[in-house]
Each structure stands twice: as C-alpha cells, then as structure tokens.
Amino acid sequence: MTKNNDKMKILIVGATGYVGGHLVPALLKKGYQIRCMVRSPEKLLARNWKNVEIVEGDVLKPDTLSKALENTHTAYYLVHSMGGSKNFEKTDSLAAANFSKAAKEANIQRIIYLGGLAKDTESLSSHLKSRQEVGTILGSSGVPVTELRASIIIGSGSASFEIIRDLVKKLPVMVTPKWVKSQCEPISIQNVIDYLALCLDEPRTINQVLEIGSGDILTYAGMMRQVAEVMEKKLWIISVPVLTPRLSAYWLNLVTTVPMSIAYPLVDGLKNDTVCTDHRIRDWIKIDLISFTDAVKKAVQEERMGELDSRWTEASGYSYDFASNYKNVKLLQDKRVINSPLSQKAIFDVIQKVGGDNGWYYANWAWRLRGLFDRLIGGVGMRRGRRHPTHIRVGDAIDFWRVEKFEAGHILKLRAEMKLPGIAWLEFRVEKAANGESIFQQLATFLPKNWFGFLYWYCIMPAHFFVFRNMARKIVEAAR
C-alpha cells in the first residue's frame, strides 16, 4: 500500500490515452509523484502538467522499459492497440509480456490495469478476450496485479459515448441489429478514475480481478433512448436479426466519429452482456456512483462548452518509425509562400482554427469528399473533428491529420492518418521578414511508399494545385 508522502514514484503507461489523460491530474491532485512513459514526449509536454516526470519508452521495445520502471512502486498499465494494429490481439499480448517481465526485473510492487468487463465463461469477442488475456499476462511474472474490469465508459471524449451520441443526433429512425438488446452496466469516467486512484490505498484490491459499474443495468437500446431524451431528440428503434457485426461496424464507420478499425472490435463485443456480478469493490472503496443519465448530462454539457481535457483521438496506437525505411525516396512537395503586411499573430490565429467545424478555408466539399472516400476504405475520415475549436497541442487529431509539431504563433505541422500509399504532411509556418512583413509558408509533403505512391501524387497534382494555392490565399485573406 502506497502513501502520498512515499518517495517512490507512480508510473503511468498510457498517459496520452483517454483514461490516462484523466488519471494523471487526479493523482497529482492527491499529491502522488508521477512519472509518465510515452513514445512521444512532445505529446505530454503540451499538456502542461506540473511536476510530472516524462520518460520516453515503448512497450514493444523492451530495452526502453528499465529506465521508466526504475525506482517505481506502482505502475498503471493503460495501453492497448485497438485501432492502431490490424492484429491487435498479438500486439497487446507481446506488449503486456514485455512489460510484465521488465516490471519483475525492476522489482515493481504492483501493476494496476483497466480491462474489459465480461464473463470469462462466455464466448468472448476478440476485443474482450484480448483485454482479459492482457490482465493474465501482466501477472505472469509474479508481480501483483489489480485488474479493474469496466463496461462502456461514459464521458465527453470517450469513443463509446461519441458513437451513441452520433447515432442519436443523426438517425431519428434506427434499424438496428439484435445486439441492441444486450445488457451492459455503463460507468462514468469520473467513477473509473475514482476507483483507479483509490485502489492505491486499499490493500484488499491487490491480486484481485474486480468489476466496476454504475449500478444502472441497461440495454444498448435503452442507453440510446436515454441519450436521446437528454439531447431532446426523437428516436425510433427497429431491431432486425440480419445485421452482422461487420455490417454494423461499416454503418457506424459511415455515421459516427469512430473509424472502422475501432468500430468493428467494439461492435463485435456488444454480443456479450457486460454486467457486474462481483460487487466487492463497492464495499472496499466507498464512492458516490454517478447514474448513466447524470454522466450523459455532464458529457453533453462539456461538449457544448467546446473544451475536452482528454479525447479518444489522442491515443494514436502503436507505431514505428516507418519513414526511416524510405530515406532514399524522393520527397514530393507543394509549397506556397505569401508575404503579408499582417502580423504573425493575426495569420497564425487563423491557422490555429483550421479543420473541424471551421473547415479548411477553401473547397471544404473536396475535403469532405476525400474524407468520405477514406472512410469507405476503412480509414479515419474527417469526422474526428477537433478536441477544441482554437487550442492545439501536439498529439491532437484534426480531422484526418495528427498534430506532429506545434509552436504557438509560428509552426503547425500535421501528419496524415488517412489511408495513403506513403506518408503525407501539411505544414503551416509564419515568420517575420527583415522589412517587418510576415512570411506565410504552406508546405504539403509526400513520401511515396512505392511506385503507386508516385502515381497517386501525380494523379492528384491538378487538384492539389487549385486546393493548396487557394487555401493559402484564403488563410491570409481570413486574417484580414
């Protein structure tokens, strides 16, 4: 059992994810010393968390783990590869095995893991089976593990909530598969964080698998009806037996913010009832459980305010430095430069609003069409939008881009996450010229993966010429 004044640190693995993004501030508020292990330190530096130690590491690279685990008492393991890997089950198992071994070697006293709720005896979906196997693997080296299992997490920015919200918002009449009759016990993100944090000071939770929920048992149809009531929307649900999980996932991919790579594992898991049957943790850790309706009301209100502390889009899954494989490949570029008497701030303020509801300043229909095509082939598309309408930090998703570099008033560099035969970047830069004017530069760069990548670039070059040229011009005009 840890105490707030212990010198040993608490390690968070997965701090850039949705749950991790809420947990770190909560632990800091309680006075714990926090170390975060991340693959991209820049993503956490942008959070402006005070007194947080950031260590670079990757659960798929065992040699990077010892430094992160050094002098650490307890580790929170909050990573998974769903959405970032085609074979996420094997990737998750390998990552957990690497971490379990390294934790044992580092003499870690405890691992706390958030898994998925379902009965072990059921025929589980690949997603839920993988989440439970990870819990087993984490304890395989002998390190004590506390595994909390949760059903759907409700909160502004959670993928599950955004799926339900989008369905209710866009489809007043739903033809749904039979899984809408499955039962679940949703839990608010606040209660998830409460349980994760308070486990630290409750020794009875060590070496236990515990189920957490709100106490509200609902069908998925019932949840959608309650969300519709909160959002003041009319909703009719017609259930049919012919929609398979894959067809349902394709439908969610087209209608909601969540892409196919995440939608299919989630939908496949909806065939399993996810209801708590073990309530020990409610006796050990006394918290005020938030009802499903109250959790939805809070999430809707926070979304209307326009600022999310954490969102599912910020977790970009496992990745490798695939750009290094094409060092000798020619970079293809479209560069636009405009000199303007306007201040750097005026121009960059416009740049900082790009994407989301604000659009891309020119030919928004073309951007939406490109996003739709990406969705149809299983990509992320344009519906992810933005976490905040004006504020940006490294790691944010902006439509089908990811913020790779951000310097306020100076640079915004985006990397494409759409399906492409190569790697694409879009960079905006504003600098001050010797004569006092501002120099606005817009640079689109493409690194082809193979010959098809070159063909792709040159085929769309005419469209790029008009879109990028006019977008640069419209950005400067908007700054006026």
Mean pLDDT, the chain cut into blocks of 10 residues (480 residues total): 57 92 93 91 82 92 93 92 68 93 94 88 75 92 95 90 86 76 92 96 95 93 91 84 66 75 72 88 95 94 80 62 56 93 93 93 93 85 87 90 92 93 94 89 92 92 92 93
**CATH number, domain 152-186+213-276+286-306, options 3.40.50.11740, 3.90.25.10, 3.90.950.10, 3.60.20.10:** 3.90.25.10
* CA dist., res. 137 & res. 145, Å (int): 10
What tokens appear for 353 in the block?
């609003």
* CA dist., res. 453 & res. 178, Å (int): 42
In the numeric block, the tokens 């990552």 are attached to 95
Architecture label for domain 325-479: 2-Layer Sandwich (3.30)
**Per-position DSSP letters for 105-140, written without gaps between them:** HTT--EEEEEEE---TTS---HHHHHHHHHHHHHTT
* CA dist., res. 219 & res. 148, Å (int): 22
Instruction: Report the predicted TM-score, pTM, of the whole model to 2 decimal places.
Output: 0.81
In the numeric block, the tokens 């695939």 are attached to 322
* CA dist., res. 273 & res. 213, Å (int): 13
In a 10 Å sphere around its CB, with 0-12 CB exposed, 13-18 middle and 19+ buried, how is residue 43 labelled? buried
3-class secondary-structure state, position 412: strand
CB-based contact 427:337 (threshold 8 Å): no
Q: Could you tell me which CATH class the domain 1-150 is placed in?
A: alpha beta
Helix (DSSP H) and strand (DSSP E) numbers for the chain: 16, 19
142 conformational bin, left if phi > 0, alpha if psi -120 to 50, beta if neither: left
CB-based contact 195:281 (threshold 8 Å): yes
In the numeric block, the tokens 């593990």 are attached to 145
Strand stretches in 64-195, DSSP E? 72-77, 110-116, 145-150, 153-154, 173-176, 183-184, 187-188
Each domain of the chain, given as residue ranges in start order, spans: 1-150, 152-186+213-276+286-306, 325-479
Report pLDDT for 311.
81
Report pLDDT for 84.
54
Dihedral angle over CA of 276, 281, 287, 293, nearest 10:
-10
Nearest to 212 by CA among 145, 124, 113: 113
CB-based contact 43:16 (threshold 8 Å): yes
Look over the chain and give the mean of its residue pLDDT values, rounded to a whole number.
87
* CA dist., res. 282 & res. 212, Å (int): 8
